[in-house]
Amino acid sequence: MRRIISLLMENEPGALSRVVGLFSQRSYNIDSLTVAPTEDNSLSRLTVMTSGDERKIEQITKHLNKLIDVVKLVDLSESAHIERELMLIKVKAVGAQRAEVQRLADIFRGQIVDITATALSIQVTGTSDKLDAFIAAQAENTVLEVARTGVCGISRGDKVLTL
Amino acid sequence: MEQLSGGDMLTRALHDEGVDLIFGYPGGAVLHIYDAIFKQDKIEHILVRHEQAATHAADGYARATGKPGVVLVTSGPGATNAVTGIATAYMDSIPMVILSGQVESRLIGTDGFQETDMVGISRPIVKHSFMVEDAADIPMIVKKAFHIATTGRPGPVVIDIPKDVTDPKVKHPYEYPKDIKMRSYTVPGKGHSGQIKKAVEALLGAKRPMIYAGGGVIQGEGAELLTKLTQKLGYPITNTLMGLGAYPASDPQFLGMLGMHGTYEANMAMHYCDVLLGIGVRFDDRVTNSDTSKFCPDATILHVDIDPASISKTVAADVPIVGSVTAVLEEMLECLEQSQQAIDAEALETWWQQIAKWREKDSLGVTPHTNGIIKPQQVVQAVHRITKGDAYISTDVGQHQMFAAQYYGFDKPRRWINSGGLGTMGFGFPAAMGVQLAFPEAISVCITGEGSFQMNLQEFATCMQYNLPVKIICLNNQSLGMVRQWQDMQYGGRYSHSTYAESLPDFVKLAEAYGHVGIRIENLGELDAKLEEAFALKDRLVFVDVMVDPEEHVYPMAIKGGAMKDMILSKTERT
């Protein structure tokens, strides 16, 4: 089962390596990982997408909570939440293909952020599924490069992850 | 405010933390610290002969006293040599603080001489670690390190210290913090009252109850309360390898150790119980056997531990309780006091009758040889007799460790010092030094094998330097006994690299070469007298080389893939 765990940790050297190390040490999966400071500079927010059954996820959250640098943690996928991922994708686009790529970008509410004579760079945001779909929609052998941020998320409603 | 250099701050902070003994080995990156040690007289430093021994000695000290062990090593090889000892402490949740030197800050990351990323290398085997970037942070970091190492589920904490941070020319104001607050670290205290009540109800309603107590009870100083609870209930109890001494072995309610080499009655009672109280235990694979689906099939499992991650890790708990062992036991006792529910005395009587039948198997019975060959079990029994069961017993790892665990019979906590989780050969001798330094008047015994002993025998020199009269009882079977046993049982007796009789040193002469006493025992008839002679030499280290039957196996032994009731009882008998 796909799960999104979001946590606040001390913005200190070594903190990230402890989190990442825990996953490899106990052979848990990291499907994606995003991390950046929050509005409080002493805290970083890290979001990890992982997978596993109920028991495995429970162990992951317990072991993450045990890390001294981890201050607070939430399993976003336990309740209603919003998740987003950002993708920058460069596709080959010449001749008639250029209009087709632009159309696709419109359908997926992407923005063209760079342009050359032979390629277009598009920024798309949304759920991971949507980004997957956008890649799949491109004509064969036209995708030149993909850069994705990994999932980040927030709970719906008044619930907040804060100290 | 007082102005101190980083090196002086470290020694002062250790003293302010209550440390009076540290184990270490000098080297380039820690020379400033060693100079600071030279100039003070509050902290005694023990110079070992290998950094691994420093960590094991500090570990032995910590296990015997309950206080944190402290280690000081240099960068690079000093730090990497300490790694096995740190992992040993981590696996058994032993409080320890390791100060490791590091190259100067400006050299970090340049592959400098004796540089190694100690924080990185030790990351998976520490509770936490610090890299000191500014000498002014030393008091706070030391305070935090000891707080983390000793509270909650204890464990080792590394403080990595670049050489420039301890520069004697650079001084900073020194004040040792009284308290610390860490927003990211809270220590579990009381357990959930509702859960405790549920657990007590389940215990009282049991027809075939069993108590399974481990190292957490010893670490959490809960042995006395556990004994009280167990005796109040009148239920059978077993201890894990790490928990030996948590309940007095000589008490009739004690069924012996459980698990891979546990007694027949302990393992049978585990398998057939209907309510299991696991306390300070982690249901590890040496207890549950490899297939946890066959573990205690009829039991409602109550699990008390201070570490939430230990609960339902391998075996799902029906009633999980997170809390300190003393707080939970106190509340359980109170709950028991107030409960109107009565124990099912009839069912309990039937259960004890069943246990008595299992006990009749006498799974630890020893049939002596008639030709004078000594069985290793007899040596442990003799040591128990001569020391009146009141010694501190450290061991290495292998057959001798299991024989010591099975036959010494520990009545008090903190008397049994062994590497249970990591299974570190070479642990016993330095650990026994740590014990002897903690309790100079006590009898500190290292029961070892000729294989394990050779992994840290250089500590003979340390014992000479500090007059440590450790008694080393070597069960010499001229082979790596446990490896050989498995090769007998599973590999058709092909002794691949487990025997070396022709190249063994003369241990008596070896002990003498270091200025100690060596005694060899070859015949059963002389076992008691010569052991008594060894223990009578109160002020001397004595190495007793006991030649034992190399054919002997450790039994009972769990059958791989089976349930706890599935055991090999002897070379010819299985359950």
Mean pLDDT, to the nearest integer, of B59-65? 98
Using alpha carbons only, give the angle B456, B458, B460 rounded to the nearest 5 degrees. Answer: 110
pLDDT (tens digit per residue) in B123-141: 999 999 999 999 999 999 9
Which residues have C-beta within 8 Å of that of residue B371, sequence separation ≥ 6? none
pLDDT band at B289 (very low <50, low <70, confident <90, very high): confident
According to the model, what pLDDT value does residue A91 have? 98
pLDDT (tens digit per residue) in B474-508: 999 999 999 999 999 999 999 999 999 999 999 99
Does the distance separating the beta carbons of A10 and B185 come in below 8 Å? no
Residue B321 to residue B327: CA distance in whole angstroms: 11
Q: Is A66 on the interface with B (CB under 8 A)?
A: yes
Percentage of chain B beyond pLDDT 70 is 100
pLDDT band at B261 (very low <50, low <70, confident <90, very high): very high
Which residues have C-beta within 8 Å of that of residue B181, sequence separation ≥ 6? none
According to the model, what pLDDT value does residue B248 have? 98
Written as one string, the DSSP assignment of B379-397 is: HHHHHHHHTTT-SEEEE-S
Write the CA distances from A160 to A11, A46, A139, B424, integer angstroms.
Answer: 19, 15, 41, 46
* Contacts B145 to A, Cβ<8 Å: none
ipTM summary value? 0.93
Q: Is B119 on the interface with A (CB under 8 A)?
A: yes
* pLDDT at residue A129 tops 90: yes
B143 vs chain A: nearest CA distance in angstroms? 15
pLDDT (tens digit per residue) in B429-452: 999 999 999 999 999 999 999 999
B521 contacts B476 by C-beta, under 8 angstroms? no
Q: Is B127 on the interface with A (CB under 8 A)?
A: yes
| H-assigned helices in B245-321 | 264-272, 285-288
Pairing verdict, β B237-239 and B209-213: parallel
Query: How many Cα atoms sit within 13 Å of A106 on the Cβ side?
Result: 6
Mean pLDDT, to the nearest integer, of B181-207? 96
* pLDDT at residue B267 tops 90: yes
Does the distance separating the beta carbons of B184 and A10 come in below 8 Å? yes
* pLDDT at residue B255 tops 90: yes
Phi, psi (degrees; rounded to nearest 5) at B468 = -100, 110
Which residues have C-beta within 8 Å of that of residue B468, sequence separation ≥ 6? B433, B436, B437, B444, B462, B541
Mutate to test the interface with A, among B184, B303, B314 (most CBs of A within 10 A): B184
Mean pLDDT, to the nearest integer, of B352-381? 97
Residue B114 bears catalytic tag: yes
Q: Is A27 on the interface with B (CB under 8 A)?
A: no
Residue B163 bears catalytic tag: yes
Mean pLDDT, to the nearest integer, of B182-203? 95
pLDDT band at A1 (very low <50, low <70, confident <90, very high): confident
Strand blocks (E) in B377-529:
392-395, 416-417, 444-449, 471-476, 517-521
According to the model, what pLDDT value does residue B383 have? 98
Least-confidence region, from B7-11, B182-186, B527-531:
B182-186
Single out the residue of B44, B164, B161 nearest to residue B104, CA to CA: B164
* pLDDT at residue A63 tops 80: yes
B86 vs chain A: nearest CA distance in angstroms? 16
Size of interface A-B (CB pairs under 8 A): 37
Residue B45 to residue B379: CA distance in whole angstroms: 35
B105 vs chain A: nearest CA distance in angstroms? 14
pLDDT mean across residues, chain B: 97
Phi, psi (degrees; rounded to nearest 5) at B493 = 70, 20
Catalytic residue from among B144, B163, B530, B565: B163
User: Residue for token digits 């008839």?
Assistant: B525
Token couple for B145: 């390190």
Question: What pTM did the predictor assign?
Answer: 0.96
Mean pLDDT, to the nearest integer, of B254-275? 98
Catalytic residue from among B482, B557, B564, B567: B482
Mean pLDDT, to the nearest integer, of A33-52? 96
Mean pLDDT, to the nearest integer, of B334-343? 95
Residue B500: strand, helix, or coil: coil
Burial of B130 from C-beta contacts in 10 A (0-12 / 13-18 / 19+): buried
Cα dihedral B423, B428, B430, B432 in deg (nearest 10): 140
pLDDT (tens digit per residue) in B9-18: 999 999 999 9
* pLDDT at residue B290 tops 80: no
Bridge partners for B471 per DSSP: B445, B542
* Contacts B131 to A, Cβ<8 Å: 13-14
Mean pLDDT, to the nearest integer, of B549-558? 97
Q: Is A25 on the interface with B (CB under 8 A)?
A: yes
Q: Is B313 on the interface with A (CB under 8 A)?
A: yes
Percentage of chain A beyond pLDDT 90 is 98
pLDDT (tens digit per residue) in B41-59: 999 999 999 999 999 999 9
Bridge partners for B237 per DSSP: B211, B254
Written as one string, the DSSP assignment of A10-53 is: E--TTHHHHHHHHHHHTT---SEEEEEE-SSTTEEEEEEEEE--
pLDDT band at B1 (very low <50, low <70, confident <90, very high): confident
Does the distance separating the beta carbons of B123 and A18 come in below 8 Å? yes
pLDDT band at A163 (very low <50, low <70, confident <90, very high): confident
Residue B51 bears catalytic tag: yes
**Residue in B closest to A22 by C-alpha:** B124
**Residue in A closest to B132 by C-alpha:** A13
**Residue in B closest to A18 by C-alpha:** B123
Size of chain B, expressed as the number of residues it contains? 575
According to the model, what pLDDT value does residue B32 have? 98
According to the model, what pLDDT value does residue B555 have? 98
Domains of chain A are 2-78 (3.30.70.260), 82-152 (3.30.70.1150)
Q: Is A162 on the interface with B (CB under 8 A)?
A: no
Minimum-distance CB partner of B309 among A9, A63, A71: A63
Does the distance separating the beta carbons of B123 and A163 come in below 8 Å? no
Residue B177 to residue B559: CA distance in whole angstroms: 54
Mutate to test the interface with B, among A16, A28, A55, A68 (most CBs of B within 10 A): A68
